Amino acid sequence: MLYPYHENAAMAMKGKMIRRILYYTHNSIGVGHVFRARAIITGIQKWRPDIDFLVLSGTSIPHILLREGIEVVKLPGIEKVMTDHETAPNALLKHTAAGCERPVFKPRYLKGMTLDAVMRLRRKIIAESCRCFQPDVVMIEHYMGGLLDEMATILERNRRTGRFISVAFSRGIMGPDGEFLAACGPHRLDHLVNKMDYIYIFDDSAILNRRRYEELKLSATTEVVCVGRITDKRLDELPHRSEVQHRFRLTDKPIVLMSLSRYGDIATLCIHLLKACHINGIDRTHQIIFVIDPYLKKEVLENIQRHFLAAQVRFLPFFYPLVDLIHASELVICRAGYNTTNELLLTGVKAIVVPEAHSNGEQETRAAIIPHDNIIVLSEETVLREPPATVIRDIVGRRRTRLPFDFDKYAIGQRIIADLEQRHVCP
Average pLDDT value for residue range 63-83? 85
Average pLDDT value for residue range 70-99? 59
Q: E strands within 255-353?
A: 255-259, 287-292, 314-317, 331-334, 350-353
Spatial contact of 26 and 33, defined as CB atoms under 8 Å apart = yes
Average pLDDT value for residue range 280-309? 94
Average pLDDT value for residue range 325-347? 95
pLDDT at 170: 85
pLDDT at 297 over 70: yes
pLDDT in tens, 3-28: 444 455 444 444 468 999 999 998 76
CA angle 79, 149, 17 (to 5 degrees): 110
Taking the model in full, what pTM does it have? 0.86
Same fold, 5-230+408-425 and 235-397: yes
- Ranges of each domain in the chain: 5-230+408-425, 235-397
Q: What is the C-alpha to C-alpha distance for residues 256 and 362, in angstroms, rounded to an integer?
A: 26
Confidence of residue 368 (pLDDT cuts 50, 70, 90): confident
pLDDT at 370: 87
What percentage of the chain reaches a pLDDT higher than 90? Answer: 55
Superfamily name with CATH number, domain 5-230+408-425: Glycogen Phosphorylase B; (3.40.50.2000)
Instruction: Say which range, 2-11, 12-21, 114-123, 296-305, has the weakest mean pLDDT.
Output: 2-11
CATH number of 235-397: 3.40.50.2000
Helix (H, G, I), strand (E, B) or coil at 60: coil
